[in-house]
Amino acid sequence: MKYALAFVIAVLAQAAVAEILVPARNIRPKEIIAPSDLMVKQVEVPGAVASVDELIGQEARVALYTGRPIRRGDFGPPAIVERNDLVTLIFRNGSLTIATEGRALGRGAEGESIRVMNLSSRTTVSGRVRSDGSIEVH
């Protein structure tokens, strides 16, 4: 029994070494990741990204260094709204819809929540970025 357990542990340790993706060059934050930016490396790294489809077209959220593993929090969808962009703020409550102009206080991708200053009232509100770049106020 003791030998069978040692064999299972040895097999699992070998299976842990897998192919992961690493940057082929240094990638700065806010850069879009292209297929030519990636290379495959065989190493044991828990939580490292192994699928090319997860990375292509995504935006680096932090600096990615050549040969180092890429983790899920290091990238995300490209930002649609940049800081200081003029955006349309939309508030909906039942059949009532109010739209006004605002200035983005942060950057964000579709579905992310950012802070925006309402230019009419100068108040800061939070809202979710929509696919067209407008902000739906919470």
Task: Say what the pLDDT of residue 44 is.
Answer: 79
- Say which DSSP state 105 is in: S
Q: Which two tokens stand for residue 72?
A: 């899920």
Task: Say what the pLDDT of residue 8 is.
Answer: 45
- 50: closest CA among 40, 61, 60? 40
Task: Say what the pLDDT of residue 15 is.
Answer: 47
Domains and CATH numbers, the chain: 16-76 (3.90.1210.10), 86-137 (2.30.30.760)
Written as tens digits, the pLDDT of the chain (138 aa) is 555 545 544 444 444 567 899 999 999 999 999 999 999 998 878 889 988 999 999 999 999 999 999 999 999 999 999 999 999 999 999 999 999 999 999 999 999 999 999 999 999 999 999 999 999 998
Q: Which two tokens stand for residue 134?
A: 């407008």
